Amino acid sequence: MKLSYLALASAITLLGGCASTEAPRIPQEKVVEVDGQTLKFSGSYSERKNILILTVNGDPIMQGSFPPYTPTQNLNAKYKDFAIKGNCYFGSILGQQGGAFGAIAGIIQSSKNSTADKCELLVNGKSVENLYF
């Protein structure tokens, strides 16, 4: 009888761990007008999967991941007749590294006021908005 309770408890714990999922970080949607066209920018970032997705009008047009110890990601795409670029800097990437490296990175980022997780959005080479994750 003890064994069956132990097996049941183990199964519940295992299923509970599988059911818990990390919610991706979603920035506030930004709306801009370029050449008479309305562009709604948004996206998501999954820390667990290390996947950054940027969307325009709900369409996922750019995706990338951050290499180890690299807080920057530059993404490019075409959307209709627009050249879209996302220059992203995620300060939390380095801060999560832990140890001496993470501590030093945190100090440097704080001194430069660059700890935000954000993507600067450019349309046809012009900066139009920032997404903050």
**pLDDT by residue (tens digit) across 40-51?**
999 999 999 999
CATH of 23-132, one of 2.40.128, 2.40.350, 3.40.470, 1.20.120: 2.40.128
What is the rounded distance in angstroms from the CA atom of residue 106 to the CA atom of residue 96? Answer: 9
Q: Where are the domains of the chain?
A: 23-132
Residue type, 96: Q
Greater confidence (8 vs 113) lies with 113
- Give the chain's largest Cα–Cα span: 72
Question: How many C-beta neighbours within 10 Å does residue 114 have?
Answer: 12
pLDDT of 38 over the 60 cut: yes
Q: Provide the token pair at 80.
A: 């209709």
Greater confidence (101 vs 118) lies with 118
pLDDT of 113 over the 90 cut: no
Alpha-helix residue ranges (DSSP H) falling in the chain: 2-19, 91-95, 99-111
pLDDT value, residue 100: 63
